[in-house]
Amino acid sequence: MVFSQLIEKLIQETTTSSLPYFGAELCLSVTIVLMLLVRLFNADRWLPAYLVAVLGAFAALWCTYSQSAQLNSGSVSDSQTFFGGMLIQDLFSVYFRVFLSLFVLLTIALTALTGIPDIEDGPDFYSLLLGSTIGMMLMASANNLLILFLGIEMTSVPSYAMVGFLKGRKTSSEAALKYVVYGAGAAGVMLYGISLLAGVLGTTDMSLLAVRLSEAAGGQTAGLADPEIRAVTLGVLLVMVGLAFKLSLVPFHFWCPDAFEGASAEVAGFLSVASKAGAFALLVRFCSALSGAAGTEDLLMAFGVSLGVIACITATFGNLAAYNQNNLKRLLAYSTIAHAGYMLMAVSAMMVMQNSGHAQLYQVDIQKSVEGLLYYLAVYLFMNLGAFAVIALARNYTFSEEIDSVKGLISQSPVLCISMMVCMFSLVGIPPFGGFFAKLMIFAAALKAGEIHWFMYVVVAIGGLNTVLSLFYYIRVLKTMFLDERPAQSRAVPIRLFSWEGSFVAVLALLVLLLGTLPRLMSGLSATANAAAHAVVSQL
């Protein structure tokens, strides 16, 4: 083929098939350029950056939503790779991109309400925010190990800057620096892992991983004695380090409390939900890409179980460390770590069931475990953002994010306190809030996986125990807000229900409640999550 023909074919493919799938990312990219242009022409006085950003996020949401409608109606094929097989378009990817667009929209709304960043810094901040979101979207639709790396880096680099965005504050810069150091380390390790994988298996295409792995195993039950398998195992391990860093799994979580404490609550809220969602999307894709290789079931099962071990350690560690924290953001950072542990249980259950040798038998349950994860993420979006939003809104009046600053807040701002209560009860997993059902689905999946490997029963037990443990420190915050007396010299927090701020958190809290009480909404969400799970699981 002549070079010019190749170029032509590439252009042809890009414009006709790839670009439409890339609509949301394009919208966000255009928004970034627009915001910078607006400032260039000194128009940012009358056209605040957040307005442009909101419009861009909305356009992205609309784009992804219409894509999901297309996929659901069956007018396009269920699973479609594009950009030369680098990215993949299916319901799973679309679910995450809708999720991310919605979340970035809410985050922008929150930052507009709290006034972080100020008008001058707006374009910078929102460029970073939207850029990071594009990275996460890439993670969600990655079909190639290189895109995996690229997505993670594209997410991380703007995140470092956002953590350090409060320029005058020493803690903020320190947090950003720590984050960068770990990020760089983890990225290096992961890249090494990727090169190992690519070197042994001869491909970076994730959809080929299982086939190549099974070829490497030679069709027999493979042990680590085989040097190729050993190299692959190391590669997987090292890639997992990179993902574990993004997911803040123990022992790669150290950056998380420090970064959250230094960053503003809005940024912490964004990172705690969005980057975790992207990383989970990637993890599920990576795991299911490996699964099903003939001859490596035992190894992959061991991988699944060790994910369970890490999940248990992470959840327990996060919950224990959250005790005695006096900074609300730091407390929630540990809670974030613990929740990553719960969510990892779903992935672990998926891996165990997929590599049991009876994957067909467990098809429904595998889907259910991924569905549980997706449901959890959706509820987690609202409840965690709600909790961080309350902290951010209260901080604007009290200038503090310590627990003591919200003492007796119920007397001044019932809406903040009640929203916080709903979010925290949901985080604990108390019915009838959404968090309960999300946790229930994940534990149910892990319980089912217990039929295959006994350790999954231990995982469920530890998960349940952790739920009890976590109750104490969440309740402590609520006790401070509801039962303590508001100190006389403390600053007033006059946020009413019928204000923008009040209604914002109230709506988040209401959604958390409705996701646990409104059967129609719940079954709708779980059906959507199930369809998305089906898309990723059925690729086997």
Partner 1 sequence: MSETTQQLILWLIPVAPLLSALITALAGPGALRYKSHLPCWTALAVSFVCSLILLFQILPSVSQPRTVASETTTSESAESVAIAPGVTAAVRPQVIAVGYEWFQVGTLNVRMDLRADSMTAIMLCMVTGVSLLVSMFGSGYMHHDPGYPRFFAAVSLFVFSMCMLVLAGSFLMLFVFWEAVGLCSYLLIGFWFQKPAAAAAAKKAFVVNRIGDFGLIIGIFLIWQTFGSLSFEEVFGGTALLNAVAETDPGRIQLICLCLFLGAMGKSAQFPLQVWLPDAMEGPTPVSALIHAATMVTAGVYLVARCTPLFVLAPGVQLFICATGAITAAIAALTALTQTDLKRVLAYSTVSQLGFMFMALGCGAAGPELVTAAVTAGMFHLFTHAYFKALLFLAAGSVMHAMGDVIDMRRFSGLKKALPITHWTFLAGAAALAGVPLLSGFWSKDDILAVIGEATHSAQYGTFFRVIQIVASITALLTAFYTFRAYFMTFWGEEKFPEEAGHHPHDASPVMAWPLGILAVCAVGIGLLTGPTHLFAGTLQRIQGLTAVETHGLHWGVMAVSSGIAIVGIGAAWFLYVLSPGIPASLAAGMKPLYLISNGKFFLDEIFQWIVVFPLRKLAALAVLFDRFVIDGIVDAVGMVPRALSVLPRQLHGGLVESYAGVMWVSVVAAVVVVLSLF
Tokens representing residue 206 in the block: 């994730």
Task: Give me the sign of the Cα torsion angle 83, 87, 93, 98.
Answer: negative
Q: Does 225 bind partner 1 (CB under 8 A)?
A: yes
* Residues near 248 by beta carbon (within 8 Å), at least 6 away in sequence: 255, 256, 276, 314, 336, 337, 340
State the minimum distance, in angstroms, from the CB of residue 324 to partner 1.
6
Residue among 25, 90, 153, 258 that touches partner 1 (CB under 8 A): 258
CB closer to partner 1, 62 vs 192:
192
**Residue 479 interacts with partner 1 (CB under 8 A)?**
no
Task: Compute the distance between CA of residue 189 and CA of residue 239 in angstroms, rounded to an integer.
Answer: 7
Stretch of residues binding partner 1 (CB under 8 A), selected from 113-121, 208-216, 312-320, 343-351: 312-320
Q: Which of 10, 11, 43, 181 binds partner 1 (CB under 8 A)?
A: 181
CB of 195 to partner 1, least distance (A): 15
Give the separation between CA 181 and CA 258, rounded to whole angstroms.
13
DSSP codes, 66-82: HHHHHHHHTSS-S-EEE
User: Using the rule CB under 8 A, is 220 a contact of partner 1?
Assistant: no
* Site for partner 1 contains 234 (CB under 8 A): yes
51 Cβ contact partners less than 8 Å away, ≥ 6 residues apart: none
Query: Which one among 66, 115, 323, 527 touches partner 1, defined by CB under 8 A?
Result: 323
Q: Which residues pair with 87 in a beta bridge?
A: 82, 142
- Part in contact with partner 1 (CB under 8 A); list of ranges 147-155, 340-348, 466-474, 491-499: 466-474
CA distances to 327, 482, 491, 501 from 395, rounded to whole Å, are 12, 17, 10, 12
Work out whether 227 is an interface residue with partner 1 (CB under 8 A). Answer: no
Among 112, 449, 469, 531, binds partner 1 (CB under 8 A): 469
Is position 224 an interface residue for partner 1 (rule: CB under 8 A)?
yes
Q: Which is nearer to partner 1, 63 or 216 (CB)?
A: 216
Residue 417's nearest CA partner among 484, 514, 330 is 484
The single residue among 64, 272, 319, 405 that binds partner 1, judged by CB under 8 A, is 319
Strand, helix or coil at 89? Answer: strand
* Residue 350 C-beta-side C-alpha neighbours within 13 Å: 32
- Cβ proximity to partner 1: between 198 and 465 the closer is 465
Stretch that binds partner 1, among 2-10, 64-72, 137-145, 225-233 (CB under 8 A): 225-233
Measured from the CB atom, the residue of 305 and 392 that comes closer to partner 1 is: 305
- Helix and strand numbers (H, E) in the chain are 21, 2
Q: Which of 223, 464, 487, 524 binds partner 1 (CB under 8 A)?
A: 223
The binder of partner 1 chosen from 169, 178, 212, 486 (CB under 8 A): 178
Would you count residue 472 as binding partner 1 (CB under 8 A)?
A: yes
Strand runs labelled E in 67-206: 80-82, 87-89
Which two three-digit tokens encode residue 33? 């350029």
Contact present, 473 and 323 (Cβ < 8 Å): yes
Q: Which listed range, 151-159, 247-255, 491-499, 507-515, lies at the site for partner 1 (CB under 8 A)?
A: 247-255
User: Which class for 51: exposed (0-12), middle (13-18), buried (19 or more C-beta within 10 A)?
Assistant: middle
Beta carbon of residue 431, minimum distance to partner 1 (angstroms, whole number): 15
For partner 1 (CB under 8 A), the number of binding residues is 31
Dist CA 513 CA 419 (whole Å): 10
Q: Which helix (H) or strand (E) holds 412?
A: none
Residue 185: phi, psi to the nearest 5?
A: -60, -50
Decide: is 331 part of the binding site for partner 1 (CB under 8 A). no
Look at the block and give the residue holding tokens 């027999």: 220
Among 50, 96, 126, 252, binds partner 1 (CB under 8 A): 252
Is residue 455 helix, strand or coil? helix
Residues found in the chain: 540
Nearer to partner 1, 475 or 510 (CB): 475
Beta-ladder partners of 82: 87
Kindly state the smallest distance separating residue 255's Cβ from partner 1, in Å.
7
Looking at residues 185 to 214 of the shown chain, list those that interact with partner 1 (rule: CB under 8 A). 185, 189
Q: Single out the residue of 99, 125, 160, 182 in contact with partner 1 (rule: CB under 8 A).
A: 182
Q: For partner 1, which is the closer residue by CB, 178 or 486?
A: 178
CA distance 476 to 462: 22
Contact stretch for partner 1 (CB under 8 A) within 355-363, 423-431, 465-473, 500-508: 465-473
Q: Is 519 among the residues that bind partner 1 (CB under 8 A)?
A: yes
Of the candidate residues 75, 77, 220, 324, the single one contacting partner 1 (CB under 8 A): 324
Distance CA 523, CA 515 (A): 9
* Contacts with partner 1, residue ranges (CB under 8 A): 178, 181-182, 185, 189, 223-225, 230, 233-234, 237-238, 241, 251-252, 254-255, 257-258, 317, 319-324, 468-469, 472, 519
